Amino acid sequence: MAKTRISISLEQEQAERIRRHAERAGLDVSAYLVHAATRQMAETETIEAQFAAVDALIAAAEVEAAGASPEADAPVGELTEQERREVEAALDLVYGADRPGARPGEAA
Residue 108, classified by CB atoms within 10 Å of its CB into exposed (0-12), middle (13-18) or buried (19+), is: exposed
pLDDT, average across residues 6-14: 96
Which residues, 6 or more positions from 100, have their beta carbon under 8 angstroms from its beta carbon?
106, 108
The tens digit of pLDDT for each residue in 35-58 reads 999 999 999 999 999 999 999 999
Residue 28: pLDDT over 60: yes
3-state secondary structure of 65: helix
Q: What is the mean pLDDT of residues 22-42?
A: 97
Q: Is the pTM of this model over 0.75?
A: no
